[in-house]
A and B are shown apart, each in its own frame.
Chain A
């Protein structure tokens, strides 16, 4: 994985609360056996009309969304199904961070493993972002701060180990495998 330090981009805002992973990538697209190409189906049921043409009212189909790498979503984004296809689809489309006041557990974990930053901010910062779609913001993983174009910046939490892996482009499996001896000891001690 590539190291990640900073993301600077304009935002796309989807203010609804509880955007679940079935919306991010509907189940009928989960029959793939690779991770590639899911960006085309990202938010498929909101993005395309029943005849397959783009829905002009949906934010990702508007010209101002082009090139945006930060998605600001309502509370509890990523709830529901554990499908890792959700962060795969967001990344394949071009997003690099998801910002909300609350991010569902499994989606957050899956995002971290793929280099999609789950950024949880305070309610006031979130409200500002919702009210200013398209704002150019900075996310600094090293300092764990999100900075608004007003110059105001807000701290966000990030689990220490995941942050270390992201900053250094490390894969968590490498660390787990470095503990194989501990795992063998555990198995011997517990006769498992």
Chain B
């Protein structure tokens, strides 16, 4: 018993190492923040608060800003010639440019070759590292947990707190083990896995908890796939999601621009190797998932927990007004089968599925095929680096030959703040993370799925099981 009390989870280890002041019944912990990521949407009010209080950004060296949400993806609007179409978005972009200069923080700006979605570029640069605490005024900050960092989203007031003190006031969350054993079947991806997990524990199943994804199926995932899983932890209501770092993590980070170098690298790997839950450490909650029994998944309603295996039919639920309202919004009936439903748009991109492997998956389906007449397939790389790599590998040529629209990087149609919108009433199979009403544009109907499923559905113009096309 005494023995087991000293056993600690990965989360406990990272949390304790960042306690400046431990929590008491009367006061939350003062938690140190190693890396503060910032973007244009949730930072303006925080800079205003700093200015009003006459405070500087305390640790400029631990603050990294980029532009992603409001930025256009049309090349002429990004690289000049044509002004940004959405006025308010342009103002927000210029506001961050001004604030970065005034407060002296690093901004990977509009024409920077390193720009992209904040959760794509920080790992790419090697700025995201195991054992760190990472925050951003953005709920999908959970993505960085794939590296064994404790990473979570905060509000704009807290963005101001971190600017001013490099710390946050936090109550210690509880822990939740998500054990995934077995092998993902052919054509079933990390996206399908996380959608299945959310379907199982529900959109508030993780509230107040930090998830740790563990087991053989998680260990077998690449870093990009692990990011897809951790990214959607917030869609289960969780504070964060984490995966213990291992050889795959170290191999990914080795020689990245901001990774430790030389003897610092060796010391870091030694430190990072200890970042795993002690065998037998207790979690507050746990769930077991058998990866080998999963199918491609797709959502049918207006939250990510309303999700089904692609070959299934929409369930019947009596006496559930929210369920009925969701189906009415989607224009679906209980009992409908998902396969074969017509679509108008397919969107491949976002911080969930906008990395190189995701584009390679899409290309496997799209190579030698054409997008169905009347369907708009929008493919948006998660960063400018992903864009360059995809172009160098010939993926962009495959996309263009298929009739897809290939853009500059950004959040794009995931959030529809930047001119990229799904028209009202239309159906979009999207690789992003939220199918909330109006998320992709007022009246837009979003079906969340993997890059395989989005690409396959774009080709047929109907919801399609991608395994049929992968086998061929």
**Do A and B associate with each other?**
yes
Query: A: which residues have CB within 8 A of B?
Result: 15-18, 20, 22-23, 26-28, 30-35, 45, 50, 74-76, 79-84, 102, 104-106, 109-110, 113-114, 159-161, 164, 172-173, 175-177, 179-180, 182-183, 186-187, 190, 192
In angstroms, Cα B255 to Cα A83, docked, is 35
Specify which of A18, A31, A81, A161 is in contact with B139 (CB 8 Å cutoff): A81
Indicate if the CB atoms of A105 and B239 lie closer than 8 Å. Answer: yes
Between A and B, 9 residue pairs with Cβ closer than 8 Å are A15-B321, A22-B439, A27-B439, A31-B70, A33-B91, A34-B48, A113-B157, A176-B165, A186-B20
Q: Which of B156, B171, B203, B322 contacts A16 (CB 8 A)?
A: B322
Residue from B28, B91, B137, B234 within 8 A of A31 (CB atoms): B91
Q: CB distance A182 to B21 under 8 Å?
A: yes
Considering the complex, give the chain B residue whose CB is closest to the CB of A75. B204
Q: A161 is contacted by which of B28, B88, B168 (Cβ under 8 Å)? A: B28
> Chain A CB within 10 Å — which of B157, B235, B437 has the most?
B157
The answer to whether residues A84 and B30 also contact, given A79-B203, A104-B237, A113-B157 and a CB cut-off of 8 A, is no
- One digit per residue, 1 when the CB lies within 8 angstroms of any chain A CB and 0 when it does not, for chain B 379-423 equals 000000000000000000000000000000000000111000000
By a CB distance below 8 angstroms, the chain A residues around B207 are 76, 102, 104-105
**Residues in chain A near residue B26, CB distance under 8 A:** 160-161, 164
Interface residues of B in 29-67 (CB under 8 A from A): 30, 32, 34, 41-42, 44-45, 48-49, 53
Max chain A C-beta neighbours (<10 A), residue from B25, B158, B303: B158
- State whether the Cβ of B144 lies closer than 8 Å to any Cβ in chain A: no
Does B208 sit within 8 A of A, measured CB to CB?
A: yes
Contact of B203 among A76, A159, A164, A177 (CB under 8 A): A76
A159 surroundings in chain B (CB, below 8 A): 28, 171
A175 and B170 CA atoms in complex are apart in Å by: 13
| List of B residues within 8 angstroms of A34 by Cβ | 44-45, 48
Where the two chains meet, the residues of B that have a C-beta atom closer than 8 Å to any C-beta of A are 20-21, 25-28, 30, 32, 34, 41-42, 44-45, 48-49, 53, 69-70, 86, 88-89, 91-92, 95, 137-139, 153-158, 160-161, 164-169, 171, 203-204, 207-208, 234-235, 237, 239, 303, 305, 321-322, 325, 415-417, 424, 434, 436-439, 442-443
Q: A26-B442, A76-B207 are in contact. Are A16 and B416 (CB under 8 A)?
A: no
> What separation, in Å, do the CA atoms of A176 and B53 have in the docked complex?
14
A22-B436, A110-B156 given. 19 additional CB < 8 A pairs? A15-B321, A16-B321, A18-B303, A28-B416, A32-B44, A50-B424, A50-B442, A75-B204, A79-B237, A82-B139, A82-B155, A83-B155, A102-B204, A175-B27, A176-B30, A176-B167, A177-B164, A179-B30, A183-B167
Give A177 to B167 CA distance when docked, in angstroms. Answer: 9
Given A16-B321, A31-B86, A159-B28, A26 and B153 contact (CB-CB distance below 8 Å) = no
| Nearest CB on B from A36, distance (A) | 10
| Top-8 shortest CB links A-B | A31-B88, A33-B44, A110-B155, A84-B155, A82-B153, A76-B204, A82-B139, A113-B157
Whether A32 lies near B171 (C-beta < 8 A) is no
For residue B204, give the distance in angstroms from its CB to the closest CB of chain A.
Answer: 4
Inter-chain contacts of B237 with A (CB < 8 A): 76, 79, 104-105
The CA-CA distance from A80 to B203 in the complex, in Å, is 9
CB contact under 8 A between A18 and B153, given known A26-B438, A82-B42: no
Chain A nearest CB: distance from B139 CB in Å?
A: 4
Contact of A173 among B41, B160, B303 (CB under 8 A): B160
Complex: A27 Cα to B20 Cα, angstroms:
35
User: What is the CA–CA distance of A110 and B442 in the complex, to the nearest angstrom?
Assistant: 25
User: How far is B25's CA from A161's CA once the two chains are assembled, in angstroms?
Assistant: 9
Contact A177 B139, CB 8 Å, known A26-B442, A82-B155: no
Which chain B positions have C-beta within 8 A of A15? 321-322
A87 vs chain B, min Cβ distance (A):
8
Query: Which residues does chain B contribute within 8 Å of A76, judged by CB atoms?
Result: 203-204, 207, 237
Q: Which residues of chain A come closer than 8 Å to B164, judged between CB atoms? A: 173, 176-177
Query: How long is the Cα–Cα vector from A47 to B89 in the complex, in angstroms?
Result: 24
Instruction: Flag if A33 contacts B95 (CB, 8 Å).
Output: yes
B61 to A: closest C-beta gap in Å: 10
Partner of A172, one of B92, B154, B161: B161
Interface contact A80-B30, CB-CB below 8 Å: no
Q: Which residue of A has the minimal Cβ distance to B87?
A: A31
**Are B139 and A106 in touch, CB under 8 angstroms?**
yes
With A33-B95, A45-B442, A160-B25 as given contacts, are A180 and B154 in contact (CB-CB < 8 Å)?
Answer: no
Q: Write the nearest CB–CB distance from B184 to chain A, whole angstroms.
A: 27
Q: A23-B436, A28-B417, A79-B204 are in contact. Are A161 and B169 (CB under 8 A)?
A: yes
Contact A192 B154 (CB under 8 A): no
Contacts of A104 in B (CB 8 A): 204, 207, 237
Whether the Cβ atoms of A45 and B438 lie closer than 8 Å is: yes
> Which residues does chain B contribute within 8 Å of A18, judged by CB atoms?
203-204, 303, 305, 322
In the complex, what residues of A have CB within 8 A of residue B161's CB? 172-173, 176
Are A182 and B158 within 8 A (Cβ)?
no
For B69, B160, B203, B416, the residue with the greatest tally of chain A CB atoms inside 10 Å of its CB is B203
Q: Are A82 and B438 neighbours in the complex by a CB distance under 8 Å?
A: no
Contacts of B138 in A (CB 8 A): 82
Complexed CA–CA distance, A27 and B303 (Å): 16
Q: A28-B417, A182-B21 are in contact. Are A16 and B139 (CB under 8 A)?
A: no
